[in-house]
Amino acid sequence: MGYQERTVSRQEVHWVPEDRTLALSEKPFRVWTLYLEGYGKTPTLPIVPQHHVNAFLEDYVHDWNWRSGKFVYFSRVARDHVWILVEYADEVKPKNGRRK
């Protein structure tokens, strides 16, 4: 199977609680820890995340996991409560644009 491209279909922002778990009904495509967001107001969507500029792209398995509606966040870069940006993607399409 060749290269596949996915596009972001929607974003959600979540405040990570102390137990670092969230109920998410579907598996995220990407998860970002947002920089410079504190306890104050909820960040406004849409957000254009840029790695090491306004966000840190977290790795699936190393920094977060999702199973049966339970999202667990265990980032290596964030120690306290943080805002995260959760991105969901459209269906997988081959690079040539044709669906299988």
Rounded Cα distance, 28 and 73, in Å: 12
Q: Is the pTM of this model over 0.85?
A: no
User: Cis omega before residue 46 (within 30°)?
Assistant: yes
Q: Which of 64, 13, 62, 19 is nearest to 34 (CA)?
A: 13
Rounded Cα distance, 47 and 58, in Å: 16
Q: Which of 98, 96, 90 is nearest to 3 (CA)?
A: 96
Provide the sign of the torsion angle of the four alpha carbons 21, 24, 29, 30, taken in this order.
negative
Instruction: Determine phi and psi for 69, rounding to 5 degrees.
Output: 85, 0
Rounded Cα distance, 35 and 89, in Å: 22
For the ranges 15-19, 31-35, 84-88, 93-97, the lowest mean pLDDT is seen at 93-97
pLDDT by residue (tens digit) across 7-65? 889 999 999 998 999 999 999 999 999 987 566 788 999 999 999 999 999 999 999 99
Token pair belonging to 22 = 């969230």
Identify which has the larger pLDDT, 33 or 96: 33
Q: Can you give the residue ranges of every domain in the chain?
A: 4-92
